[in-house]
DNA sequence: CAATTTCTGTACTCTTTCGCATAGAATAGG
DNA sequence: CCTATTCTATGCGAAAGAGTACAGAAATTG
């Protein structure tokens, strides 16, 4: 079998040879992300993506591959953007209670964002999707979940070391509780449960982790 | 507009007049539930449901209406079955710690069930689905989530009254933490995270609620 | 400027899928 | 036994959707 020439995504070399792209792959991926994030893999058509990006299907195909490959890259774009948003918040020098609440409220507002109603967390959606049967998506979603557990685990380990949590606190256990909170917020947001009923859940977990 | 004769689902009157059904609606709904639970609304075709139930599409149509109505009824069937499973567990007279763990492990195993891989919680899937845009599904999912919160809230309120929890415990806060745990278990199960990594999460929450 | 390479856009094919029309089968009532 | 009623089964029709062929456009290289 001949090696199928995989389209190199956004591999912005020094200068490509023929006619240049009339679009930025990053921008298109972000727009595709919006479509998949809202509708999910199966319910989103390539025509929807085409309309959102302003690109014709052959252009999408040439740049990103088929629908499955496009979804994976759009989800990768989501992860990248989310990391860019939250890394500074994790790195900030604030009291644990403040920092934790700030992160959770930011996540909640991310889940509530969307022009046509709350979209929840793209990772949660991907896990719930039919496409999760595919190993490639399983790997990405697994990484994302593990990464969240790890990030909060480090946060709490540092806090314990700094005396903001008791010695008896188990950072990994606390991290999983917070991750669970993110998941429940995502589900409830998508179910159109209003923000006013979701904020108390944030306060719940802050109390659970940091005490009353 | 003329009233469209809505097919009465499983309304087993004394005797219907013409040719009787060659199938039990309850059974068919359970089989339809399996299909939607695994694939989700958009990715499941009526041919899939037809194959799973052994019924032709016109029969499905006649009995349950269109795809959307069928999904709602299949999800209703899920809720009914889940309630039948868990109500006795909530009613059991056991120490809180034992009862809570039993319920959570049962839920986990429900989420891990499925012939072709773990399916998670149908409620979570429905919330993540594209179909959640529809008010009818929003209402059902909202009820299901609120019902879970309420059931655990009552459980913890009773436990506090029985002295199994300190007076300072907040039943509603604890209930939401447990519900969050169910949601995270559902997501992680569907992401193919192995049972051995999920059981510690159950223990986490038991410790969080009941103490170490 | 000519040749080559790469991207864009129209339009096409093939498949899937929803929904339904219609004919035949099975049962109750008279 | 005959008719009315309801269910089953084959199969049609219309639409959507994924992927691609091909011609034209726009850039680089020589």
C5 C1' to A27 CA distance, Å: 25
Sign of the dihedral defined by the CA atoms of residues A46, A49, A54, A60, in that order: negative
Chain A contacts of B177, Cβ < 8 Å? Answer: 177, 180-181, 204-205, 208
The residue that leads in pLDDT, A9 or B74, is: B74
> HEC string of A124-163?
HHHHHCHHHHCHHHHHHHHHHHHHHHHHHHHHHHHHHHCC
Q: Which residue in B60, B67, B59, B210 sits closest to B137, CA to CA?
A: B67
Instruction: Please name the residues between 92 and 151 in chain A that touch chain B, using a CB distance below 8 Å.
Output: 116-117, 120, 124-125, 127-130, 132-133, 138, 141-142, 145
Q: What is the pTM of this model?
A: 0.93
CA of A201 vs chain B CAs: smallest distance (Å): 7
Mean pLDDT value of segment B75-87 = 98
Which residues on A lie below 8 Å from B193 (Cβ)?
Answer: 142, 145
Cβ atoms within 10 Å, residue A9:
16
What's the pLDDT score for residue A20? 86
- pLDDT bin (cut points 50, 70, 90) of residue B15 is low
Measure the CA dihedral A174/A178/A183/A184, to 10°.
100
pLDDT at position B14 is 52
pLDDT at site B17? 78
**How is residue A15 annotated by DSSP?**
-
Structure tokens at A17: 């040879």
- Within 8 A by CB and 6+ apart from B88, the residues are none
What is d(CA A109, CA B174) in angstroms, rounded to the nearest whole number?
A: 23
> Which residues of B are less than 8 Å from A128 in CB distance?
40, 120, 124-125, 127-129, 187, 190
Summarised one tens digit per residue, pLDDT across range A34-90 is 999 999 999 999 999 999 999 999 999 999 999 999 999 999 999 999 999 999 999
Q: Rounded to whole angstroms, what are the CA distances from B33 to A158, B81, B157?
A: 46, 11, 34
Verify whether the Cβ–Cβ distance B177 to A180 is below 8 Å: yes
Give me the phi and psi of B9, to 5 degrees please.
-80, 115
Q: Is the C-beta atom of B86 closer than 7 angstroms to strand C?
A: no
B132:A191 CB<8 A: yes
Helices marked H in B92-170 = 96-112, 122-128, 135-161
Q: Which nucleotides of D are covered by protein (CB under 7 A)?
A: 4-11, 16-22, 24-29
Question: How many separate helices (H) and strands (E) can be counted in chain A?
Answer: 9, 0
Q: Is the pLDDT reported for residue B5 higher than 90?
A: no
Q: Is the CB of B60 under 7 A from strand D?
A: no
> What is d(CA B106, CA B94) in angstroms, rounded to the nearest whole number?
15
* Angstrom distances, CA of residue B11 to CA of A166, B3, B6: 60, 19, 12
What is the residue-averaged pLDDT of chain A? Answer: 93
Greatest pairwise CA separation for chain A in angstroms? 64
């Amino acid at each position: 079998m001949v090696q199928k020439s995989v389209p190199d995504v956004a591999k912005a070399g020094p200068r490509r040879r023929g006619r240049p792209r009339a679009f930025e792959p990053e921008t298109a991926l972000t727009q595709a992300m919006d479509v998949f994030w809202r509708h999910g893999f199966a319910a989103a058509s390539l025509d929807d993506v085409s309309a959102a990006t302003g690109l014709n299907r052959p252009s999408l195909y040439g740049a990103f591959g088929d629908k499955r490959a496009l979804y994976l890259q759009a989800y990768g774009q989501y992860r990248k953007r989310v990391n860019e948003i939250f890394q500074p918040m994790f790195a900030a020098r604030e009291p644990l209670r403040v920092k934790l609440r700030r992160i959770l409220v930011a996540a909640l507002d991310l889940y509530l964002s969307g022009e046509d109603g709350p979209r929840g967390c793209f990772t949660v959606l991907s896990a719930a999707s039919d496409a999760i049967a595919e190993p490639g998506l399983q790997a990405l979603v697994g990484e994302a979940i593990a990464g969240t557990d790890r990030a909060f685990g480090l946060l709490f380990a540092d806090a314990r070391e700094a005396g903001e949590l008791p010695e008896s606190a188990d950072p990994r256990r606390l991290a999983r509780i917070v991750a669970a909170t993110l998941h429940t917020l995502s589900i409830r947001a998508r179910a159109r449960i209003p923000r006013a009923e979701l904020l108390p859940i944030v306060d719940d977990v802050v109390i659970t982790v940091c005490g009353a």
